[in-house]
Amino acid sequence: MTDYINRPIYIEKIKPFIGKSLIKVLVGQRRVGKSYLLMQLKELIKAQNTNTQIIYINKELNEFSSIRNSDDLFCYLEQNVKGEGKVALFIDEIQDIESFEVTLRDLVTRKNYDIYCTGSNANLLSGELTTLLSGRYIEIKVFCLSYAEFLNFNKIYDSVESFKTYIMVGGLPYLINLSNEIPVAYEYITSIYNTILLKDVVARFNVRNVKFLENLVQFLSDNLGSIVSSKKISEYLKSQKINISTQVVIDYLGYLESSFLISKVKRSGIEGKKIFEIGEKYFFEDIGIRNAIVGYKSTDINKILENTVYLHLRIAGYSVTVGMEGDKEIDFVAQKAGNKIYVQVAYMLTNKDTINREFGNLLKIPDNFPKYVVTMDEITETTTYKGITRMNIRDFCLYLASE
């Protein structure tokens, strides 16, 4: 058996559905470890039932290049599936098979197929496909490594230096195979960014203005965590003598989000009753990619910490919005299974104005859900102020990971 580093947060989500007549779909950005999760599942199923036939198709390997569409996939299975017994089918990067949904719809009705697939496109199961496979699939979002996973993968302990490395290079799993030198890491990360941009955005959506696409990513990198809108971006570009319509900006933002390069966070009322349609924040699904694009600068630390906390909330299973009420803003309103938490993120609470701002907005929220102020201050223990919990960001990330 191959020695894989386990990622129980995902394996445990999938385990209840092993052997069931449901398509298990793992989606997420390229190189976040979806393929290795398939491998772990394959080994797990082998160990549970040695009579199960394993069929594995990886569309990134040349040996499977002949499987271009649904008909090719049917032919491949007819040639390779032996007998009438249980079949565990694994398809990596299934979006590269045209009309794959036709095959999946047929196979899922056959009680002997246990189906798992991965995709690097957020629209993989949307629109007509969702209708075709309604009630026949579950989707599991796979993220880059959490801070706890980063420590485990690198076999290191939690420390100021470990966390600094994490927020500089991000959580792409393959980085454990490279040297600890930041330039080497950024060279690899840049190659992944280019693949995402060219294969998952430019090629998939037939993007013609690649230069504008790159400028848009640069703009989002510089304005990380700021409230922006497509109109604001369009007006900024016009000030730079780049004339791009608001609709094109909206389209390109959608393409970047679909490829899991960025994530859009909408604004909501503090009590969550209203969603604002104009103005949202954008965060990168791997902070290392953002830093490789524009460089890691200490002056950007607040933005980087906010992106890091956002990712940890998502990895922990929360849906997230930016809280707005009048002129008050709460960095994150996070909800999961009927529970809610509020989170403010700051670099350091160095003066009275900062303390009043970060705690003050939370104190005005009239409910009793947990509220946190998360900073990089080296505090010896978690403390509370008028019911608000103050935590070091490393403790917050590890605390969430243990929930």
342 with 333: CB under 8 angstroms? yes
Hey, where are the domains in the chain?
Answer: 8-141, 147-401
Please tell me the distance from the alpha carbon of residue 219 to that of residue 217, in angstroms, as a whole number: 5
Does residue 125 have a pLDDT over 70?
A: no
Are 226 and 307 in contact, with CB atoms under 8 Å apart?
no
pLDDT tens digits for range 336-358: 998 999 999 999 998 888 888 88
Question: Does 1 score more than 70 pLDDT?
Answer: no
With bands split at pLDDT 50, 70 and 90, how would you rate the model's confidence at 83? confident
DSSP string covering 314-376, please? Answer: HHTT-EEEEEEETTEEEEEEEEETTEEEEEEE-S---SHHHHHHHHHHHHT--S-S-EEEEE-
Higher pLDDT, 231 or 63: 63
* Mean model confidence pLDDT for the chain: 91
pLDDT higher for 365 or 236?
365
Start-to-end CA distance of the chain, whole Å, equals 30
Do 144 and 171 meet the contact criterion of CB atoms below 8 Å apart? yes
pLDDT at 128 over 60: no
- For domain 8-141, the CATH class is alpha beta
Give how far the C-alpha of residue 173 lies from the chain's centroid of Cα atoms, to the nearest Å: 13
- CB distance 334 to 315 below 8 Å: no
Is the CA virtual torsion 103, 108, 111, 115 positive or negative?
positive
pLDDT tens-place string over residues 168-210? 999 999 999 998 789 999 999 999 999 999 999 999 999 999 9
